[in-house]
Amino acid sequence: MIGRDKELSFITDGFSKRGLLRSSIVLGSEGMGKTIFLEKAKSNYLAKESKSLLIAPRTNNCTDLPSLLSSMARDISVGNGIGKSEIGKFARFLGTQIIQFESTLRESGDIDDFENKLALTFVTGIEDAIIHSGNELKEVCPLLIIDNLDRLDKNLLNWLCGPFNQQIRKSALFKKCRFLFSANKGSEDLNRFFADFGFDKTIPVKLPSLTTDQCLKLAKSLGFEISNPESYRIKSEGNPLKLLKILKNPTNVTNKDRNVMSNTDPKSTPSFSDFSEKELNYLLFASYPSRINRYNLEFFCTPKDAAFCFNWLKRQKQIANSERDGDLILDEQLKNQMRQFHQQEDPNEAEEMSTKATIIDAFTSIFPDPNQHWIPINLHIFESFTEGLCKKLFDEVEFGEIVLFVENRTDVLVTTNKQFSFNDDVKLVTKRFIEIGGGSPKQGLVEKAKDEWIKYQEESTQKRSKLEQEKLNFEEEAFDAEKQILSLDELKKQLLSDFKNPIRQKPKKEYTFSTSLILIVIGIGTVGASLFFDSLGTIHASCGLVLTIFGFFWPNIEIKKTAVQSTGNSPRLAIETQQRSLAHRINGLSSRISSIHGNLESLTSDLESLDQGMNAPYISE
């Protein structure tokens, strides 16, 4: 920076990890380049500290606490060592929380609770973002930069040195926080603020006026050739902004002009007189949305006026910067000026448009792509939805966009099994967005969803019965298989026991009785002969009877031998074969039981999912 190298080096080195500077304020009259100086200090700090966290709200447009918090969240920058995605999520989260807290404040009227909640939510939210980005809090070096501290509303100053200060003093993240401010000049109010904040000493850094050589160098850097740089220094008083005006209008500068410029407040530049009435209306419309495009402008005027306004602003390079995505950013100074003017002229309309702008900013921070806004507008009405439901309610093209949205926006969706729903904060912001004219769900969508819910209940009931029957069948099969395993295991043990105890395998005698036809014939014949021949007496008759009886009850002796009848290694081979066979059967049954258990777990999961789906209606009554 021309003429600011010494001061910039002091700030950069002082705020480094090894630096001892805790708090500093850059002082200089209007036009001395304090804002540019802070921007350069900011870029140096980010480049030097890889794990830096820099909070630099644009205070020109901060008229109340929600706008200050929103700017603090949006204008966070981090070094290369910290991921930016989590910081972006934090900014979106804070936007939804601010809207919710504002709603609570309107109901309760408790301003102290409102301020404390905002401070706590900001500090804890940014701590969570740092942790989720994979960094330890103690490794991060935060730097809070507040430009134009002397212009900040007194209530905002009280919040900074009150609830906000109390929260950061409890925070591990802000333990090593540094502070950089700017103001036109020191004052008792600023000294009181620093004392209330708890700074031992805030080092002032005064930006000096440009020398003659520096005026010449600045003019050359801007493409101007001047022959008498000393006269330009005298006329501009070494003020870069005044010098720039003189360079642009060198022939119109007089002593009177110089005196007027000495008392000029940049807030009055450009003047309202520079614009026509129609252009002032365009500026009024454009002063409310943070990012200007035709889509956002239509919330504040007719589509025709929005198109004319946007096209006109694109040509006004001095007051509107064009972003890479085609959006425009209106000059903060002019934006704040237009809002203040509107507040004085029509407070009610200004309040309404400011509320619209807050809601639009919150919604677009969550859903930045206007081409996808129809998706949350339609899906937020569901308590739960599935891809299958969306396929039935939307056409093929819409369904394809919804599938991609669900895959990419897991940060705003609550997922349970195959069911999705928006979190409560997103639903609230979307409802407010619809209320201000952001769109409406498809006609008949609620009725169609209710009809699909009735069909789903009927199909789910039938499916549940079928799943329960399958589960019962598997359980019975598993029980039978377990019984077979027990039986086979017992048999396996018995065979092994018999093999190890061969005494149990000795031959056994078994006694049975049978009839002998020969003995019966001889016996009966002997008895008959003793009756016919006198020579044969009772002895022969008795012998015949005995033979006859033995003939009917002839004793048999049977010797039972073991099942394995072989020699050598044959018994061992037989038992091993039997053991392997039984083990194979047991393993097969065990494998089947394992498969059954897997099926049972799957069925149980399906039943739980089915029950959960049946208890989560698409549309709440």
Taking only the tens place, the pLDDT of each residue in 563-588 is 544 444 456 666 777 778 878 888 88
Query: Are the C-beta atoms of 122 and 158 separated by less than 8 Å?
Result: no
Q: How many domains does the chain have?
A: 6
Q: Are residues 192 and 51 in the same domain?
A: yes
Structure tokens at 201: 């000493």
What number is the average pLDDT over the span 79-106?
Answer: 85
Q: What is the pLDDT of residue 272?
A: 62
| Domain final residue, candidates 183, 206, 229 | 206
CA 209 to chain centre: 50
Q: pLDDT, tens digit, for every residue of 439-496?
A: 888 888 888 888 887 887 777 677 777 877 888 888 888 888 888 888 888 877 777 7
Q: Residue 615: pLDDT band by 50, 70, 90 thresholds?
A: low
User: Of 348, 366, 384, which closes a domain?
Assistant: 366
Does some domain include residue 129? yes
Residues 129 and 39 in one domain: yes
* Predicted local distance difference test score (pLDDT) of residue 252: 42
Report the 10 Å Cβ neighbour count for 600: 15
Which H helix or E strand runs over 23? strand 23-27
Q: Do 402 and 488 share a domain, yes or no?
A: no
CATH of residue 30's domain is 3.40.50.300
Q: What is the mean pLDDT of residues 283-310?
A: 90
Q: Clarify whether residues 163 and 293 are in a common domain.
A: no
Residues 146 and 100 in one domain: yes
Is residue 18 domain-shared with residue 121, that is, in the same domain? Answer: yes
Q: What pLDDT sits at residue 159?
A: 94
pLDDT of residue 253: 40
Q: What are phi and psi of 551, to 5 degrees?
A: -65, -35
In the predicted structure, residue 193 carries a pLDDT above the cut 90: yes
Task: Please check whether residues 236 and 184 belong to one and the same domain.
Answer: no
Domain that includes residue 337, residue range:
272-366
Q: Which helix (H) or strand (E) holds 481?
A: helix 445-500
437 and 397 both lie in a single domain: yes
61 shares its domain with 175 = yes
70 occurs within a structural domain: yes
Cα–Cα distance for residue pair 263/282, rounded to 1 Å: 29
Residue 255 confidence (pLDDT) above 50:
no
**Of 442, 463, 487, the domain-final residue:** 442
One domain for residues 327 and 226: no
Lowest mean pLDDT among 132-136, 423-427, 597-601: 597-601
Instruction: Compute how many other C-beta atoms are within 10 angstroms of the C-beta atom of residue 238.
Output: 18
447 part of a folded domain: no
176 is a domain residue: yes
Residue 83 inside a domain? The answer is yes
Within-domain flag for 536 = yes
Between 355 and 473, the higher pLDDT residue:
355
H helical segments located in 316-416: 332-345, 347-366, 374-379, 387-393, 396-408
